[in-house]
Amino acid sequence: MLYQERVVPSWEIEGAAYHLEALAILAVAQNEMDQAARLFGMAETFLPAIRFEMSATEREDHDRAVATARAALGEEAYTAAYDQGKKMTLDEAVMYALQEN
């Protein structure tokens, strides 16, 4: 398959990033820690690009979920999964987030 880059509107990135973050927190609640770490990495890639700032409540939820995933996976496994998520394109991130485990 031939890879073609596309211009992605900022609203699409914003929506995807926000939803990836929410899906990461949901993955932690469902004890899918590897998936959560990847999703956090994906969201981290896109959130700064849109200058998204979490509310205090969102930050607390994020920090608690990240801490839970880190503790469950261990630092090395969490970092490896997180880094894999950060390397994904927006299209890859959406496809990953939509796949069933």
Cite the DSSP H helix spans in the chain: 10-29, 33-46, 56-73, 75-86, 90-98
What's phi and psi for 84, nearest 5 deg? Answer: -65, -40
The pLDDT score that the predictor gives to residue 1 is: 37
What's phi and psi for 11, nearest 5 deg? Answer: -65, -30
The pLDDT score that the predictor gives to residue 11 is: 46
Reduced to 3 states (helix: H, G, I; strand: E, B; else coil), residue 43 is helix
The pLDDT score that the predictor gives to residue 53 is: 72
In 3D space, the residue among 76, 93, 73, 91 whose CA is nearest the CA of residue 20 turns out to be 93
d(CA 70, CA 79): 8
33 or 2: whose pLDDT is higher? 33
Work out the average pLDDT over 46-52.
64
- Answer whether residue 101 shows pLDDT above 80: no
Whole-model pTM: value is 0.78
- Answer whether residue 49 shows pLDDT above 70: no
